[in-house]
Structure 1
Amino acid sequence: MKQPKESVFQLLNQRMVDVKFLLNEEGTKQEKNLEVEVEVKAAPTEKKALVELTLHVNKDMKDQLFNLSIKNQGVFSWENLNEEEVKPYLEENAPAVLLSYIRSTVTNLTLAAGLTPVILPLLNFKNQE
């Protein structure tokens, strides 16, 4: 098997900028019945971009055990890519990278709330509408 090469697209920095978690003590649904909504925003400049991933879980609380909203930002850079070539990196790769940070936070938050730790599913950002 060939060794992977370093990507031309790199994460320089990431940070969590907003987290809201609400426990619904009267909720009846199990944690496995998650309703997940995703928002992705990208603000590219020359060879860098600020990408923001916002994840809403159980946004319409109703009978859910919890709801949460998390916004994470990452600064990404690239070399030798034109605007058209970098577009899939910003729309697919960057959100997938940021999701990995959000997933661990969701697991820790639900555990700290006394719930069964929730492991968010991996998401495919390719060809999303």
Structure 2
Amino acid sequence: MTDETATPQPEAPQAQGQAQAPKMQILGQFVRDLSFENLLMQKGVKGDVSPEIQVQVALDAKKRPTDHQYEVMSKYTVKSVNKSDKAPLFMIELDYTGVFHIENVPEEQLHPFLLIECPRMIFPFVRRIVSDVTRDGGFPPLNLEQVDFVALYRQEIARRAQAQAAEAPSN
């Protein structure tokens, strides 16, 4: 038996131009604002109630003073009306914020990362809040369908491009 001492091999240096994998950590999340209006109980609806649900989502993000930290705000507006007479049943407005630590994301990819990946990570918590609020408000729990944050991001970019084109002076 030989007694060889293994010397630790130095880690291979990163190839030039090869980026490190992105790192994301949720530091915290919270409800910034929540409103639930049970219009069915306030005004009453006559006849059969067959709900029709409309969901609107708005997203925003901003840099925090600490390095690599960002706030991602999502605003959900959920309206339910009766299919037959369009009488309002309930409305939820939820502003939900996640605080993220993000590293190794190139600057040109940071905006879509913040508005696609971050909301995707906190969406299950939003879904749970909406479900609990509707159940506690006397309705069956509303389980929101998965939101396509990529499509939302593309729509917002297209809207901004259209707005810039409309504002640009014509030659």
TM-score, normalised to structure 2, is 0.64
CA distance in 2, matches of 1:50, 1:74: 6
**Partner Cα separation in structure 1 for residue 62 and residue 81 of structure 2:** 29
Structure 1 segment 92-103 matched on structure 2, within 5 A: 92-103=116-127
Q: Number of paired residues?
A: 123
Q: Which has the larger radius of gyration?
A: 2
* 1:29 positional shift: 5.2
- Tell me which amino acid in the other structure corresponds to 2:122: L
Stretches of structure 2 that go unaligned for 5 or more consecutive residues are 1-20, 156-171
- Between the aligned partners of 1:118 and 1:54, the Cα distance in structure 2 is 17
> Which residue does 2:132 correspond to in 1?
108
Q: CA RMSD in A?
A: 2.3
Q: Within 2, Cα distance between the matches of 1:29 and 1:41?
A: 35
CA–CA distance in structure 1, aligned partners of residues 63 and 49 of structure 2: 40
1:34 equivalent to 2:53? Answer yes
What whole-Å deviation, never above 9, does each CA across 1:28-73 have from its counterpart, x for those lacking one?
A: 6534x21111110100254221110000001889523210100011
> Greater helix percent: which structure?
2
Structure 1: gaps spanning 5 or more residues = 1-5
Among 77, 101, 104, the alignment partner of 1:56 is 77
- Once residues 81 and 135 of structure 2 are traced to their aligned partners in structure 1, the CA distance between those partners, rounded to angstroms, is 21
Q: Deviation above 3 Å: which 4+ runs of structure 1?
A: 27-31, 59-62
The answer for the alignment partner of 1:3 in structure 2 is none
- TM-fit CA distance, 1:106: 0.8
Correspondence for 1:9 among 24, 29, 52: 24
Give the match's secondary structure for 1:85: helix
Q: Percent identical across equivalent pairs? A: 24
The answer (yes or no) to whether the contact 2:61–2:70 under 8 Å persists in 1 is yes
1:29–1:63 CA contact under 8 A, matched in 2 = no
Q: Structure 2: how far apart are the matches of 1:76 and 1:53?
A: 14
